[in-house]
Amino acid sequence: MSMRLMAIFLSLVVVACGGSGGASSGSSSQASSTGSQSSSSVSGPLTLEGRVTFDHVPFTKPLPTGLDYAATEIRPGRGLVVELLNSNNQVIASTLTDMEGYYLFQVPARQSLRVRVKAQLQSSGNPSWDISVRDNTSSNALYVLDGGLASTGTTDSTRNLHAASGWTDSAYGNTRAAAPFAILDAVYTGVQRFIEVGFDGDFAPLNLYWSVKNLPVEGDLTLGEIGTSFYGGPDKTGVSSIYILGDENNDTDEYDTHVILHEWGHYIEATLSRTDTLGGDHPEASGLDMRVAMSEGFATGLAAILLDNPRYADSSGVRQGQSYNVDVSRTNNSPKGWFAEASVYSILYNYYVSGSSKIARDFSDIVAAITAPELIDNDAFISIYVFTNQLKKQAPAHSPLLSQLLTGQSIFGTGDYGDGEVNAGGNLNNVPVYKLLLTDGSSVELCSTNGYGTYNRLGNAQYARFTIHNTGNYRFSAQKSAQTMGVTDPDFYIYHQGVLLAVAESAVPNRESLAVSLSPGNYVMELVEAENLYGNQGFGTACFNLSLLPD
């Protein structure tokens, strides 16, 4: 049978989803649940097939000093939703591309049809996922790549669709059609890597928001003022969200696969595992709140694992010719410790590549650890201690390797609470990691500090743990200690298995008190000097005597 290869007109547009029509840029869009593994309301004697591809712009080699447009690669569009539209712009069939980007429809002869590729990944199997790229500056409309309207004729035909980068010599002179598909392909790599190691759960729906207007200025997300690429939790539709930078000659991330998968790592934490992070800025040279260090280190380490590439790179600048890059496998980090994100990602990645008593590059036990109920429902804050303790339980034979990696990063505490930790990060107030609070009214001193900065730095919050044996009301009191000079504002927060139960943030100077009804169980709390959390400069060192009594 003869086959026709058709030259078709392509365009990248954003469309309203959930119905059969398309629309120009600026149309409103709702979260879409359309599309399926394979569906069709048409059939016929003819085959209409083709391949979907996109431009991927890699970093320079051997070191990633910026994007290398001269080395642009053509990659297959994998797992994408492909639709067949009639002359009335109605969807009459849909399917998915395979791992090489190919799609196929059976169609009748002499029908005017258009092929549309949606910036959407879908699977209704086990596991399932629904992931799309949308324009946050155009009513959250979905990106699609449209072919031209053409007759099926009387013989089998091929319609290939390619999304080009839009780069013309020294600038983006044409539509950046490849960007949404490059972003999706990075996420598809993450999904497939999870499946390869046996993950069979469901991925929560996810919208990634990208626009050429997305710039590193904080403000109105609908204007592109996103500040940085970030995981944003559920959006207004209740679907998880990631925002990606796209401002040419400033900061673009659509080809920064490590950055995309770092944010996807935060999505994994939030939807399949648990994170207790405060978020915020997190300079690697700073000691961080251990919850932040764990979250950021995990996301960076996971990105390197999923790409099997330890060189994390983030492009920026004129013609995207600059980059921040770091070797995730390095061990000579500064600082080192349970409060350092670099220590976390170093441990994670070097555990992954190690062939000592384990299969090198197998991360199935890492996935098992982060999705384990024992981690998700842990009484302690999620930290490197909880993660590695759970990893040791998942793979006991690998405990010596983990212990070696931990001590190599100056992490000496054991168990979920880091018992016995001696690395104080330069301030002895930071150890023990958790101070033990009894229910007999005796006080324990906690000192909030700002040696590394404010909000989410090491020492801003001090942690305590306590056990309740009987249901009842309990009063917590924090009083400024005699050694602290000046007017203070202590605040504290009580948690059970990651859930915030009580907040004490009164404006009363130098003390804080709160009665809380509690059931038997293990609890943790954090105590802060408000200025060390929210102030620009911080208070300095503020010490408080914390006590607990039945009320």
In this prediction, residue 297 carries a pLDDT of 98
In this model, does residue 56 exceed pLDDT 60?
A: yes
Determine the length of the chain.
551
What's the distance, Cα to Cα, between the start and end of the chain in Å? 86
Tell me how far apart the alpha carbons of residues 248 and 69 are, in angstroms, rounded to a whole number.
14
In this predicted structure, the answer to whether residue 404 has a pLDDT above a threshold of 50 is yes
d(CA 147, CA 8): 6
Percent of the chain with pLDDT over 90: 89
Confidence band for 237, pLDDT divided at 50, 70 and 90? confident
Note if the bond before 335 is cis, omega within 30 degrees.
Answer: yes
Tell me how crowded residue 164 is: count the other CB atoms within 10 A of its CB.
18
pLDDT of 42: 66
Q: Which range, of 37-41, 55-59, 398-402, 440-444, averages the lowest pLDDT? A: 37-41
Helix (H, G, I), strand (E, B) or coil at 522: strand
* Model confidence band, residue 36 (pLDDT cutoffs 50, 70, 90): very low
Retrieve residue 164's tokens: 């080009």
Give the whole-angstrom CA distance, residue 388 versus residue 12. Answer: 45
Q: What's the confidence (pLDDT) of residue 4?
A: 39
Residue of 76, 71, 50 lying closest to 61 (CA atoms): 71
CB 238 within 8 A of CB 297: no
Q: Which of 37, 172, 49, 183 is nearest to 105 (CA)?
A: 49
Q: Residue 473 forms beta bridges with which residues?
A: 517
- Identify the sign of the CA torsion 463, 469, 471, 475: negative
d(CA 518, CA 496): 10
CA atoms lying within 13 Å on the CB side of residue 393:
17
Domain ranges in the chain are 429-550
State yes or no: pLDDT of 262 exceeds 90: yes
Concatenated DSSP letters of 113-144: EEEEEEEEEEE-SSS-EEEEEEETTTTTEEEE
Q: What is the mean pLDDT of the chain?
A: 93
pLDDT band with cut points at 50, 70 and 90 for residue 274: very high
pLDDT band at 536 (very low <50, low <70, confident <90, very high): confident
CA distances from 31 to 28, 34, 199, 400, 481 (A): 10, 9, 26, 47, 53
Angle between helices 290-307 and 257-272 (to 10 degrees): 120
Q: What is the pLDDT of residues 349-402, one digit of tens each?
A: 999 999 998 999 999 999 999 999 999 999 999 999 999 999 999 999 999 999
Q: How far is Cα 109 from Cα 44, in angstroms, rounded to an integer?
A: 7
From the options 2.40.50.140, 3.40.50.1970, 3.40.50.970, 2.60.120.380, give the CATH code of 429-550: 2.60.120.380
Peptide bond preceding 400: is omega within 30 degrees of 0, i.e. cis?
Answer: no
Cα–Cα distance, 436 to 443 (Å, whole number): 10
Nearest-angstrom CA–CA distance, 192 and 242:
19
State the pLDDT at residue 37.
Answer: 38
